[in-house]
Structure 1
Amino acid sequence: MKLVSRDIDKNYAGCVTMIPEEAEDLWHAYNLIMVGDTIRSTTIRKIQTESATGSVSVNKVRTTLTIKIEAIDFDTQGCVLRLKGRNIQENQYVKMGAYHTLDLEVNRKFTLGKQEWDSIALERIETACDPTQHADLAAVIMQEGLANVCLITSNMTIMRAKIETNIPRKRKGSCTQHDKGLTKFYDQIVQAILRHINFDVVKCVLVASPGFVKDQFMTYMMDLAIKMEYKVLIDNKSKFVMVHSSSGFKHSLKEILQDPAVTSKLSDTKASGEVKALDDFYQMLQNDPNRAFYGVRHVEKAVDLQAVEVLLISDELFRAQNVAQRKRYVKLVDSVRECGGEVKIFSSMHISGEQLGLLSGIAAILRFPIPDDEEEDSDDD
């Protein structure tokens, strides 16, 4: 995301102008934009004109509109953010108060105005406009006949390719058909890696499978790279890390990112950090449940007692249309930071974020235990 200008006054009201430079920037915009905000951007509008003879013609014109947002829709497949609202500024083509839908796309400048920019929104701008926050991790999760090629960014897991091939079984006395099917399968995975993984950005490619499928694939891929002179694979051989997974399905990504060998290699990627924080929470819940809370009321109680060491919270909670509800979560984050605690904001489109969502979207690891009876008393009150 490119920050063009920022005009926010001492009361935290104002506007910010940005240009999304890649698909993930639209995800940041989706988390920034709320119902009731204003947005200004270029758009195409159909205009009907009637001639003196009574014939009607329809023309498309490009114009700049400012609308007050009433509905937000994010298309993850097409990477388009659709914002519906009423026009609030004079325009020669669109009447005041008329409805229009603005489409935010990559490389289309927009200006976002808010009555109040809270700490979460300002932090999101800092993150989005930081050039180091890019997808630096890829994963190829496979089993015989099935492979998933994923890009893991700091905010979401993006499925780039799913390969499914029917591999014939080995028959007594002959493995020819099985070997041919396997070769075709491996070749499709190699082509998907070449097509979807940018080795200039990606620091590490995890190759995961049950059994020896990953080992056979790596041998095949490097032999093919030498034979076909795929220089990009040969030069980046050290970036491939083989790890065990229970299956070739996408959900195996969580267990892969928990592998200690992988964690040490990926210690500087946010995706791995989030999974570790969630894993620590589950460990604490199992071993010392009085130091692992989830649910907003329980976590608020812990925050009031300055007991929260690590706060785990889903970005989905900050998209609440109820302003008071959003402020409630922002206050929790600010309070934890003021007391020296750590805050992990999980993306709802990431594997770890989906898991946290099952725990109401908010959880905390505490500095000291708070007994259950104290929590029950507070609930009764």
Structure 2
Amino acid sequence: MKLLDKTIELEKDKSGSISIVPQDKEDLWQLYNLIQKGDEVELSTYRNVKKTTGSGATDGKDKGKTERKLLRLKLAVSDIEYAPSDESMRIKGKTTEQNQYVPNQSFHTAEVQLQKSLRITKPEWDDISYGIILAASSVETRAEVGAIVMEEGVAHLCLLTDNMTVLRNKIEKSIPRKSRGEGGGGNHDKAITKFLDMVQSTMLRNFDLTKLKVVILASPGFTASLLQKNIMEHAVKDDNKLIMKNKSKFLVVHSSTGYLQGLEEVLKDPSVQKRLNDTKYAREVNIFDEFQKSLNDDDDKAWYGPSEVAKAVEIGAVKYLLLTDTLFRSDDISVRKHYIKLSDEVKSQGGEVLIFSSLHESGEQLDQLTGVASILKYPVADLDEEEEEEEEEEE
């Protein structure tokens, strides 16, 4: 994300605007977290308008005909649509000013374009919103990982960033069973070679090896090792200097399955953690792991739920506050403000706040646990006592 300019009154009412250029698909996810109902967004979009003469009057000969024009619209946001699979984002809203072709207060839907500037104006830039902009406009904070989770006949090619896991491609090929006594070059081996060639060529189309920190190849058995061998053989044969230069980035690890469920398991592997120890995502996985272990041990240091966590914050006991980004996309402004206040209180007490993406496995799991959890500095029992007493009274 390229930040062109910002005029935000942080010392006063925190109102103001920023002008930015989304540069890649990851930026769309950041914008989805940033833009809310009630914000004003100014962006370029194509519209079909009635044909006019040079003077601006409608040409009689072309009456009823339209032409496609690039317009700049200001929209008061009423809805945001984001589709990770399509990697597209659309903004719906009413225009806040008219121009030659579009009347004021008319409804429009505009798609956010990569490499095209847009201006976002908010009545209030809270710490979460401002933090998104600072993080997104800093390349250093955006580590990425490529992962191919596979087994014979199926492969899932994924990209992992700070904020999401995106399935870039899925490859499936029927592999015949190896016949008894079948030697090298049989139908099974030929099908495996063809399958690995497909995965290798698809990887080159979908992964930017110069940008990725590591490419994880994971599978049960030896399929991942065979893929690594296939990639290197093709690199030598085709004189692919890009792969040869980045061959140290490939990491072969074991997974119990070649399907997406194996990805979270792979990311907890010590050899993978060692390679990813400087990324935000790896740290979040570790802390969520710590939370789950503490919860299973029932040691009174792991709590989840809005009221339980609020009580823990109130007594200053929170070491880590775990929140999902869905809480900050709530249409209810009071909900967003509540969790911003909770975050500020934890930070002022010396604790740390981690915001998990709902597009990561750990974020999905946290969402299932109400979206808010905490790891405490010391054990605190019966944070849910009041709730239990109320349930008993109702019974």
Letter in 2 for 1:35: K
Partner in structure 2 of residue 30 of structure 1: 32
**1:148 alignment partner, SS class:** strand
Question: 1:59 deviation in Å?
Answer: 2.5
CA distance in 1, matches of 2:62, 2:192: 68
Partner in structure 1 of residue 240 of structure 2: 230
Contact 2:148 2:156 in 1 (8 A): yes
**2:141 alignment partner, SS class:** coil
Q: Cα deviations across residues 13-64 of structure 1 (Å, max 9, x unaligned)?
A: 1111111011111111111100011111122222236655894222222222
Partner in structure 1 of residue 170 of structure 2: 162
Question: 1:104 deviation in Å?
Answer: 1.0
Q: Cα deviations across residues 76-134 of structure 1 (Å, max 9, x unaligned)?
A: 23332211111112322211211111221111111111111111001001111001133
2:211 to 201, 216, 221: 201
Instruction: Tell me, yes or no, if structure 1 residue 377 matches structure 2 residue 393.
Output: no
Partner in structure 1 of residue 193 of structure 2: 183
CA distance in 2, matches of 1:133, 1:191: 29
CA distance in 2, matches of 1:54, 1:211: 68
CA distance in 1, matches of 2:374, 2:167: 30
Q: Cα deviations across residues 236-295 of structure 1 (Å, max 9, x unaligned)?
A: 221111111110111211111111121111101122111111111101101234111111
Contact 1:294 1:360 in 2 (8 A): yes
TM-score, normalised on structure 1?
A: 0.95
Question: 1:231 deviation in Å?
Answer: 2.5
**2:140 alignment partner, SS class:** coil
Q: Cα deviations across residues 130-149 of structure 1 (Å, max 9, x unaligned)?
A: 01133431111111111111
Alignment of 1:127-142 (within 5 A): 127-142=135-150
Q: Cα deviations across residues 335-381 of structure 1 (Å, max 9, x unaligned)?
A: 11111111111111122212221111111111111212x43126657
TM-score, normalised on structure 2?
A: 0.92
Letter in 2 for 1:6: K
CA distance in 2, matches of 1:360, 1:79: 27
CA distance in 2, matches of 1:201, 1:266: 14
CA distance in 2, matches of 1:237, 1:5: 39
Contact 1:79 1:105 in 2 (8 A): no
Instruction: Tell me, yes or no, if structure 1 residue 21 matches structure 2 residue 33.
Output: no
Partner in structure 2 of residue 6 of structure 1: 6
Distance of aligned partners of 1:39 and 1:187 in 2 relative to their CA distance in 1, 3 Å threshold: same
Instruction: Tell me, yes or no, if structure 1 residue 309 matches structure 2 residue 319.
Output: yes
Q: For structure 2, which runs of at least 5 residues remain unmatched after alignment?
A: 52-57, 391-395
Contact 2:74 2:95 in 1 (8 A): yes
Q: For structure 1, which runs of at least 5 residues remain unmatched after alignment?
A: none
Calculate percent identity across the aligned residue pairs. 39
1:284 to 291, 294, 307: 294
Letter in 2 for 1:139: A
1:109 to 117, 124, 135: 117
Contact 1:284 1:292 in 2 (8 A): yes
CA distance in 2, matches of 1:356, 1:202: 27
**1:268 alignment partner, SS class:** coil
**1:369 alignment partner, SS class:** coil
CA distance in 1, matches of 2:253, 2:24: 30
Letter in 2 for 1:333: S
CA distance in 2, matches of 1:238, 1:6: 40
Partner in structure 1 of residue 54 of structure 2: none
CA distance in 1, matches of 2:64, 2:152: 61
Q: Cα deviations across residues 201-238 of structure 1 (Å, max 9, x unaligned)?
A: 11111111112222233233323332332322222221
Contact 1:17 1:110 in 2 (8 A): yes
CA distance in 2, matches of 1:272, 1:354: 15
Contact 2:84 2:166 in 1 (8 A): no
Contact 1:26 1:105 in 2 (8 A): no
Letter in 2 for 1:91: N
1:263 to 273, 284, 289: 273
Contact 2:85 2:167 in 1 (8 A): no
Letter in 2 for 1:375: D
Contact 2:136 2:142 in 1 (8 A): no
Partner in structure 2 of residue 152 of structure 1: 160
CA RMSD of aligned residues (A): 1.8
